[in-house]
Amino acid sequence: MFTEEKQRELIQKTKQLLDITIDQIKTIDDAKAIIDDLREVIRYHDWRYYVLANPVISDYEYDKLFHLLKKIEQKFPELITPDSPTQRVASGLTKEFPQVKHLAPMLSLDNSYNEEDLRDFDRRVKEATGFETVEYSVEPKFDGAGISLVYEDNLFIRGATRGDGIVGEDITNNLKTIKTIPLSADFKSYGIKKIEIRGEVLIRKDLFKKINQERLEEGLPPFANPRNAAAGSIRLQDPKEVAKRGLEAFVYQITYAVDPEGNNLLGTKIKKHNESIRILYELGFRSPFKEIKVCRGIDEVIDYCRQWQEKRDEYPYELDGMVVKVNDIALYEKLGVTSHHPRWAIAFKFKARQATTRIIKVVFQVGRTGAVTPVAKLEPVEIGGVTVSSVSLINEDFIKEKDIRIGDLVLIERAGDVIPYVVKVITEARTGKEKPIEFPKNCPSCGSPLVKPPGEAVWRCVNINCPAQVVERMIYFASKDAMDIRGLGEAIVRKFYELGYLKSIPDIYRLPYEKIKKLEGWGEKSVENLKKAVEESKHRPINRLITGLGIRYVGKVTAKTLAEHIRCVEDLEKWSVEELESLPDIGYVVARSIYDFFHNEQNINMIKELKSLGVQTCKEKEEKVQHIFDGKTFVFTGALKCCSREVAQEIVERLGGHATNSVSRKTSYVVVGENPGSKFRKAQQLGVKTINEEQFIQMIKDHIPEDLKEHINI
C-alpha cells in the first residue's frame, strides 16, 4: 500500500538510486544494500504508470532504474527473487498449457437486455433475502478474456484462463508479462494467506486498432474485437510475444480468501463487494475502484446503467454492459447459484454493435504495396450509429475459411472505432442463388499476373509501375502523416495522374503549375497555395520523408526511430538487417523490409532524384530542441487560434511528448480551444488537467522548432 508518506519516501529514494551506476556495485554486499529499495521503487513506478496512469518520472528515468536492477541481477544471480520486476518475461516457449482447477468455480453471469429484466432480478433478490431495499454495487462489464489469479504468502503463484469454469489452462508465465498484475502484494496485512481473484485481460481500443492495422498490412485477418485479440494474445506460446501486445488486466472479484488457519474471510472479514475492490486497488491492482457505485435500490442501479450506456464510447476500453452485484457478500450463500450463474449478480448488456446485411458484389483493390484486397459491397446497414456499406474480406484464405459468397446474408461487427468485420455467414438464409467469389489471377489495375510470396496469405501485383500502386504511393507520400502537402489530397492526385502531370513521387516537385491554372476550379491563388505547400514539404524532418517512402511495415513510429539513429536517409543503405534489428521495437520482418527497400536500385534512384529536386534527405543541423514534454501526453479539443491542431500535435511530439486523440487517465493535459467537445467533459470526469490555449503557448513559446515557427501565430 502506497500511503502519501510512503510515496514521498519512495520518490526520495528514486532520486538517490538514479545517481547509482553498475560500476559502483563491486561486491554482493553493495548489491544487497540497494536491491530491495530498487525493486520497491520500480514496483511503485509501475503502479503509478500502469494502475494510476499518472507517472512521476520520465520513461528514460524508469528505464535507467530497470536496467540497473537487471545488471545487478546478472552480476549476482543469487539475489534474483520470483517477484523481482525483471522476472516478468520467461524465456523459451510454452509447448502446451497444463490444466488447473480453480479454487472457486468461475461462473458466467445471467444477462439482462432491458430495465424490466433488472427489476425482475431485484424482485427475486428481495424475495430471497426478505429485504425491502437491497444495496447493490454497479461497475462496468469489461469485454475481454477472463482469468483467475492465485496468490499465496503474498506471491503470485498461478494464473489461468476461465476454461469451462471449473478447470482452466495455466498461463502463469504469460500473465506475468502484464504490468498491471503485481508479482507480489501485501495480502498478509489483511490477514489473507491464500486468495483467488477473478479478472479480465484487455487491450486498449487505440492499441487494438493499431494491432489490426498491422495485421492487415501483413495480410492477416484482423481480430473481430478486443476480446478476441486479448484471448488470442494470452495463449501465445512465447511470453516475449505476449509482452509486445500491450495487454492490461482489471480485477473485479475475490472468489476465494482464507487466513493462515484456513478460515474463509469472504462475508466475515471482507463483508462488502465494494470493500473487496478497494482492498485490491490499495494493493496495487487495476480495478474498477473509481467506476464502481454503491446503489440503494434498483432505481439508482438503472440510472447508473443509463449513464454508462451514454458514455461507453468515451471509455478507453471496450465495454459490453454493466455488472450489478448484491453488495453484502454474506448474502451470497443465501441467494445461491445455478449451474450456470450466481443468483446474486446480473449483467445489464448494452445495445449490440452487430447487424446482418447482404453482400451485393465484391471488388478487388490494389494497395501501394501491391496487395490485392477483396472488398464486399453491402446493402447499407447502421451499426453503432455508423452506416456501413462495405467491408474488407481480407484475402482469399479468409473467403474460403468462412465460405463467403456474393448474395450471402452476413453478420457484421463493428467494435468501437474498429473497421467492420465479417463475423460469420448466415448459411441458413441461403437460397441457392449465391455465387462463389472468384479471386483474380491478374492484377485488376495493370493486368500483370498476381503472385503469392512464400509464407504469405496475400496475392500481390509485383509490377512496380502498376498504376494503382503508383497512385496510392503518391497519395500516401503527400498525406498528413508523411510530407503533409496541403491541397494535394487523394482526389487531386488521381486527377493529376489521369492528366499525365504525375507519374511518380518525384513528379510532385515538377508539377506544371501554368497548366494547372487553366483547369476548371483552379485559379491564381489556389495554384500559389499548392506551390507553396509543395515547396514547404521539401524541408520536412527526415522522419516524415522516411514515412512517405511507403516502406512496408514502416509507419510514423518506426520512421522516427530510424531518423533518430541516422544523419541522412541514404545512410540506411549501409545498415545490415542485424543492425536494424538492434533498434527499439524493430523485429526481423520489419528490418528485412527496410533492408530490401534500401537495396533496390529503383528506390535509391528515387531518393537521389528527390534530393536533386531540393527535398531535404539529411538533417540540416542537429536540432537543439529540449524535450520538455518527455513522458507527457496531450489531447487537443476545440478550435485553436494559433495554428492547426496538426501543427500543435507536431510541436508536442518534437518536444518529446505524445499527442493522441482520446482522453484517458494517462493523459497529462487536455488543451481546450474554442467550442470544445466531449473530450473536455471526459477530462473533467476523469480529473485530467485541462489548460487553455494561452497556457499551452506559454509552455512552448521558447522551444518551438525552427521549421514550425512559420506555421504558428503567437
CB 304 within 8 A of CB 311: no
With b meaning 16 or more CB within 10 Å and e meaning fewer, what string describes 523-550?
eeeebeebeebbebbeebbbbbbbbbbb
For the chain, the first-to-last Cα distance in angstroms comes to 46
Query: In Å, what is the CA distance from 387 to each residue of 213, 319, 361, 390, 639?
Result: 21, 21, 18, 9, 27
CB 1 within 8 A of CB 186: yes
> One of 141, 179, 205, 679 is an active-site residue; which one?
141
Which of these, 236, 254, 258, 255, lies nearest to 245 by C-alpha position?
236
Provide the β-strand partners of residue 669.
634
* Helix ranges, 389-523 (H): 396-402, 467-478, 490-499, 513-517
CB 379 within 8 A of CB 358: yes
Instruction: Give SS3 for 309.
Output: helix
Instruction: Give SS3 for 618.
Output: strand
Q: Which three cell numbers stand for residue 584?
A: 527499439
Q: Which three cell numbers stand for residue 260?
A: 493462515
CB 198 within 8 A of CB 106: yes
CB 324 within 8 A of CB 136: yes
Q: Is residue 574 among the annotated active site residues?
A: no
* Helix ranges, 21-97 (H): 28-46, 59-75
Which of these, 541, 599, 593, 592, lies nearest to 573 by C-alpha position?
599
Strands 99-101 and 167-169: antiparallel
Sequence-ordered list of residues with C-beta below 8 angstroms from that of 389, at least 6 positions apart, any chain: 377, 378, 379, 380, 381
State the Rg of the chain over Cα.
28
3-state secondary structure 680-692: HHHHHHHCCCEEE
The CA-based angle 504-507-508, given to 5 degrees, is 110
Helix 4-17 vs helix 59-75: angle between axes, to the nearest 10 degrees?
A: 70
| CB-count burial class (<10 Å; 0-12, 13-18, 19+) for 408 | buried
Phi and psi at 24, nearest 5°, equal -80, -15
Active-site residues: which are they?
141
